[in-house]
Structure 1
Amino acid sequence: MKEAPDYYDYWPYENRPSIRWPGGARLAFWVAPNIEYYELDPPKNPQRAAWPHPTPAVPGYSIRDYGNRVGHHRQMALLDKYGIKGSVSLSVALCDHHPEIIAMCRDRGWEIFSHGIYNTRYTYGLSQDQERSMIRDSMESIHRHTGQKCAGYLAPALSHSEHTLDLFAEVGTELFGDDAGIYTCDLFHDDQPTPIRLRSGKRFVSVPYSLEMNDTIVYAVNKVEPRHYLTMLKNNFDRLYAEGAESGTVMCIPTHNYQVSCPHRIKAFEEALEYITGHRDVWVTTGREIAEYYLQHCYDAAVADIATKQGGRTA
Structure 2
Amino acid sequence: MTNQTLFDYSPINDRPPINWPGGAKVAAYVGLNIEHFLIDRPSTSIWPGTADLVPDALNYGWRDYGVRVGIWRTIESLDRHGVRASALLNSDVALHYPQIIEAGLSRDWAWLAHGRTNSILHTNMELEEERAFLTDVVDTIAGATGRRPRGWMGPGLTETFNTPALLAELGLSYVLDWTNDDQPYRLNVPGVISVPYTLELNDLALFSKGTTGPEFLQIVKDQYEQLRADSRDSGRVMALALHPFVTGQAFRAKYVDQALEYLAAQPDIWLTTSDEIAEHYLRTSAAG
**Smaller-chain TM-score range?**
over 0.9
Count of matched residue positions in the alignment of Structure 1 and Structure 2 = 283
- Structure 2 partner of 1:207: 195
TM-score (norm 2): 0.94
SS in 1 for 2:251: coil
Following the alignment from structure 1 to structure 2, what is the Cα–Cα distance between the partners of residues 255 and 43? 21
Task: Tell me if 1:166 matches 2:165.
Answer: yes
Q: Give the distance between the partners of 1:83 and 1:111, measured in 2 at CA.
A: 14
Deviations 1:205-227 (A, max 9, x none): 1110011011111112x222222
Q: Partners in 1 of 2:83 and 2:119 — Cα distance? A: 29
Alpha-carbon shift at residue 15 of structure 1 (Å): 3.1
Cα distance, 1:254 vs structure 2? 0.9
AA paired with 1:296? R
More moved, 254-263 vs 240-249: 240-249
Identical-residue share of aligned pairs (%): 34
Q: Secondary structure at the match of 1:156?
A: coil
Runs of 4+ in 1 over 4 A off after TM superposition: none
Quote the RMSD (CA, aligned, Å): 1.7
In the other structure, the counterpart of 1:280 is 267
Contact map agreement 2:42 2:51 (CA 8 A) in 1:
no
Partner of 2:280: 293
Mapping of residues 182-201 of structure 1, within 5 Å: 182-198=173-189
Query: In the alignment, what sits opposite 2:245?
Result: 258
Counting only pairs closer than 5 Å after superposition, residues 19-168 of structure 1 correspond to structure 2 as 19-42=18-41, 52-168=51-167
C-alpha contact (below 8 Å) 2:124/2:160 kept by paired residues = no
Deviation, 1:157, is 2.2
Tell me the TM-score normalized by structure 1: 0.86
What's 2:47 paired with?
A: none
Distance 1:153 1:99 in 2: 20
Structure 1: distance between partners of 2:158 and 2:191: 23
Residues 7-54 of structure 1 deviation map (CA, whole Å, 9 limit, x = unaligned)? 11111111311111001100101001000000101499xxxxxx8322
Q: Which residue of 1 aligns with 2:218?
A: 231
Question: Residues of 1 paired with 2:186 and 2:164: CA distance?
Answer: 12
SS of structure 1 residue aligned to 2:5: coil
Q: CA deviation at 1:137?
A: 0.8
User: How many Å separate the matches in 2 of 1:214 and 1:166?
Assistant: 27
Structure 1 runs not aligned, ≥5 long: 45-50, 173-180, 304-315
Give the superposition deviation at 1:158: 2.1
- Matches of 2:124 and 2:18 in 1, distance apart? 39
Could you tell me which runs of 5 or more consecutive residues in structure 2 were left unpaired when the two chains were aligned: 44-49
Letter in 1 for 2:186: P
Contact 1:43 1:121 in 2 (8 A): no
Q: Secondary structure at the match of 1:264?
A: helix
The alpha carbon displacement at 1:272 in A equals: 1.4
- Contact 2:42 2:52 (8 Å CA) reproduced: no
Q: Which residue in the other structure is 1:177 paired with?
A: none
- Where 1:14 maps in the other structure, the secondary structure is coil
2:46 paired residue number = none
1:185-233: CA deviations, max 9, x gaps? 00011000011112xxx2111110011011111112x222222111111
Q: What is the CA–CA distance in structure 2 between the aligned matches of 1:156 and 1:2, rounded to whole Å?
A: 23
CA contact (8 A) 1:39 1:120 kept: yes
Aligned to 2:2: 2
Whole-Å separation in 2 of the counterparts to 1:282 and 1:123? 33
Question: Per the alignment, in what secondary structure is the counterpart of residue 144 of structure 2?
Answer: helix
